[in-house]
Structure 1
């Protein structure tokens, strides 16, 4: 399902996805339509703009995933702001692309998200990884669950754009194990205070990892 309040953009995304072999089972122009139509058509993947008439893309993400936890949400937004990226991930989105992404990048992201991968526009992943790092830092003992060494290792690879399949091959683990590591860490991230998290992320910058 494609959700965007700009008809030309929405139609273009729908055409590109169908040309790539996907079945677009629904479209919506605002949050209310998105929630109503999601229940009727039950898409496997929702390609969703954040800045849509209420309810917002973040609220739509939370709502549809409550209805169907197996669905995947790929955010396709004009915004690359730190607060927007973190809010979308905390709501349960497993992908975030900015609208400057190419058609090929969009199609690849939809395929990967459908498989259960977590996909970010390069650079934005560093923001999320930065918060994962903070959670895994024993010095930041503020009652939050800590990340394991394996979770941190996997998430560094995710932030560099590697697919779950590539990570599984590199670490000699199953695709399911990699997916579980990422989902466990996303759940840990979602437990954190959003305002404090966003302030910290802005102070740290997107990605200072030069590995």
Structure 2
């Protein structure tokens, strides 16, 4: 099966590396982009069967790119390709409709297999990933669709948490002290009745907050 691939990554070395890895594999790198905006502009000429995108991009991130593609009528499956083994990214990617989440430490064979699987119309999620991120969250708040009252600052912290940021990164983004962010995160977890940051991120995604 001939596969046309659009590679979206803000690091030229990564894009060149993917192209080199796939040389002679039957997968053609039909286009490259370093941002979500460039990716949307490249779609008509590249006509990809699969979009391979980094998660962290300047401006609109790779997961939001999925929504932008669908809003513009582009149905090509999207495979996330990330250097961050971050469960909140995985939760967001799955919720957004990505067909899989592959780490940049993956082998050539794993990369090629994932691209071919995506191109064939199948997903690359493992059973463990599906269970963790699509299974029930152990809280009555979500099951009963109860409203949770968060302060404005707690909502901001939850949103950044769901984007996969660490407490230090959230502090820098919101201009807060690290200890203050840590306290807000603890309040959010308690109010949502979840066990960890990943469950909080899944909750935020399912409630449409991110």
Instruction: State the TM bucket, normalised to the shorter chain.
Output: 0.5 to 0.7
Secondary structure class of the residue paired with 1:23: strand
Cα RMSD for the two superposed structures: 3.1
Q: Is the 2:83–2:103 Cα contact (8 Å) retained in structure 1? A: yes
Give the 3 Å change call, closer, same or farther, for CA 131–89 of structure 1 in structure 2: closer
Other-structure match for 1:48 = 53
Matches within 5 A, 1:60-75: 60-75=65-80
Q: Distance in 1 between matches of 2:38 and 2:25?
A: 25
**Displacement, 1:143?**
5.1
**Displacement, 1:199?**
6.5
TM-score (norm 1): 0.61
2:198 equivalent among 202, 207, 210: 202
Give the 3 Å change call, closer, same or farther, for CA 199–55 of structure 1 in structure 2: farther
Other-structure match for 2:132 = 130
Secondary structure class of the residue paired with 2:78: strand
**Displacement, 1:201?**
6.6
Correspondence 1:10 to 2:15: yes
Other-structure match for 2:103 = 98
Unmatched 5+ stretches in structure 2? 1-5, 147-191, 201-210
Correspondence 1:19 to 2:44: no
**Displacement, 1:116?**
1.5
Other-structure match for 1:149 = none
Q: Distance in 2 between matches of 1:199 and 1:42?
A: 43
Q: Is the 2:49–2:77 Cα contact (8 Å) retained in structure 1? A: yes
Q: Distance in 1 between matches of 2:96 and 2:70?
A: 9
Secondary structure class of the residue paired with 1:85: helix
Matches within 5 A, 1:170-181: none
Q: Is the 2:32–2:39 Cα contact (8 Å) retained in structure 1? A: yes
Give the 3 Å change call, closer, same or farther, for CA 197–119 of structure 1 in structure 2: farther
Equivalent residue pairs, number: 150
Secondary structure class of the residue paired with 1:24: strand
CA deviation profile, 1:113-160 (whole Å, cap 9, x unmatched):
11122114x6xx63441233317x99x74259xxxxxxxxxxxxxxxx
Q: Distance in 2 between matches of 1:58 and 1:76?
A: 11
Give the 3 Å change call, closer, same or farther, for CA 198–57 of structure 1 in structure 2: farther
Give the 3 Å change call, closer, same or farther, for CA 93–46 of structure 1 in structure 2: same
Q: Is the 1:86–1:128 Cα contact (8 Å) retained in structure 2? A: no
